[in-house]
Structures are given as C-alpha cells and as structure tokens.
Amino acid sequence: MTLIRLTGVTKAYPAPAKGGEPVVAVDDVSLDIASGEICGIIGYSGAGKSTVLRLVNALEAPTAGAVEIDGRDITRLRERDLRALRGDIGMIFQQFNLFESRTVAGNVAYPLEVAGRTRAETAARVAELLDFVGLAAKAKSYPEQLSGGQKQRVGIARALATSPRILLADEATSALDPDTTQEVLELLRRVNRELGITILVITHEMDVIRTLADRVIVMEHGRIIESGDVFDVLSAP
C-alpha cells in the first residue's frame, strides 16, 4: 500500500537576486513509498533532498504537483488537519535539535505536552519510549551530558512520541562516528521492524543507504536520476 506519493512535484524558490532566475529545488519529481518500507534518498548537497522532506511534512507547499499521504492531498490542509498530519510524521536531524534546557524526559515529553496529553499519559509514554531506545537511566540528564549517539536516541524517542506512521531522517548520522552510526542505524531498523514505521532517510552517505534502506532514490539537480533496489542501484557500474 502506498503511504507517501509525490506526483509531478516541482518546488521553485524565488530568485535570490532581483531579475535572477528562480531556484528550482525539486523538478518534476514523482515517487511512491510503500507502507512499512525503508526508503533512502541519496544525492550531493543541493540535489533537493531536504526540500523533498519538507514537502512531505508540509513545511513547504509545492509550486506544482501533488503530495499525498495515505491517499490524501496534504497541500491544502486546514490548521487542524495539519496538526494531525504532524503527529503522524516524526523527524530526526543531523544536529539532533534537542532542547538544551530540558531533561531527556522533558525532550521526549514535549510533543505529548503540545498534543495536550495528561501528565499520567505523558509520564507512561515517556518511560516506554526511553526503555525502547535504551536510555531509561538518563531520564533526568540534560543533553549536554550525553554523547552524540545518546542525543540521537533521544531525538528518535521524541520523534516517536505521538506514535507516527512515518519517520523522516535528515542526515541523522552525519554528525556521528562510524561505530555510533551503526548503533543508531540498528535502532532505526528496530523502529521499522518492531513498530512497523515507514522510514524515509536522506543522506549523502552511501554506507547509510547500504546498511539501512530497502530501496534507494538518487537525486541530482532536483530530479530523480535513478531508483530501485539498493543492491541493484548501488552496484551498477
């Protein structure tokens, strides 16, 4: 079943200088991501990968084309539906984006507080998530007391708080050393297999795609230049 579908999507940003050309970040992209799959988008800096992620979580609206989640066009949602959509999509980042003034538990609790869950519900869910990512003992620590890998595990727990169906990973291991990268990728595989969450990762690192993804999409200059099974695409001459 298709969960994420882009059909003929173009995203152009206004010209940076007066009289210049608009920047076409994403150029006539169509893609389908099935429920339960781990899909990777690889490409050099500037290829349009982050713009695709921002279109999927409705942070940007396409200039042309349609973005659908579960068969629903998300480009013209009302405020209320937009909030529901955001609860259905978790996101993790290269620099983790944790709140430094909040504890580990406070970071994971944040999306639940925004969603208006009760204190009891929040506490139970936070405990469950910290167990899942192996950080129960760090609930009262602050981000600055954690290693990079631990910070990303907090990021993952926070992204999962509202039980989304989709997890978007934006260069999620690019700030980590190779061993820590493997640990985080292993956790992401558990997120996919044990929780059934569909994962879309963008990266410039071939190894991340090889280790994690079922399928890869290669982007260049805003276009998809290749896509398919990871082994077939990345072993092609």
Q: Which residues bind ligand ADP (CB under 6 A)?
A: 13, 23, 25, 43, 45-51, 102-103, 105-106, 109, 119, 122-123, 126-127, 139
What is the nearest approach in angstroms of ligand ADP to the Cβ of residue 195? 19
Give residues with Cβ within 8 angstroms of 236, minimum separation 6. Answer: 226
Residue with Cβ nearer ligand ADP (23 or 82)? 23
Encoded tokens for 46: 């500037």
What is the nearest approach in angstroms of ligand ADP to the Cβ of residue 62? 13
Q: Exposed, middle or buried: residue 194 (CB in 10 Å: 0-12, 13-18, 19+)?
A: exposed
What is the nearest approach in angstroms of ligand ADP to the Cβ of residue 177? 22
Residue with Cβ nearer ligand ADP (167 or 217)? 217
What is the nearest approach in angstroms of ligand ADP to the Cβ of residue 1? 27
Query: Comparing C-alpha atoms, which of 159, 196, 225, 185 is closest to residue 1?
Result: 196
Residue with Cβ nearer ligand ADP (11 or 165)? 11
Residues 172 and 205: their CA atoms lie apart, in Å, by: 11
**What are φ and ψ of residue 67, in 5° steps?**
-120, 120
Give residues with Cβ within 8 angstroms of 165, minimum separation 6. Answer: 3, 35, 70, 88, 89, 197, 198
Residue with Cβ nearer ligand ADP (66 or 139)? 139
Residue with Cβ nearer ligand ADP (122 or 173)? 122
What is the nearest approach in angstroms of ligand ADP to the Cβ of residue 108? 7
- State the number of CA atoms in the 13 A half-sphere of 135 facing the CB: 30
Query: Comparing C-alpha atoms, which of 7, 48, 6, 41 is closest to residue 25?
Result: 48
Query: Comparing C-alpha atoms, which of 90, 88, 62, 87 is closest to residue 76?
Result: 62
What is the nearest approach in angstroms of ligand ADP to the Cβ of residue 71? 25
- The closest residue (CB) to ligand ADP is 106
Residues 199 and 153: their CA atoms lie apart, in Å, by: 15
Residue with Cβ nearer ligand ADP (152 or 203)? 203
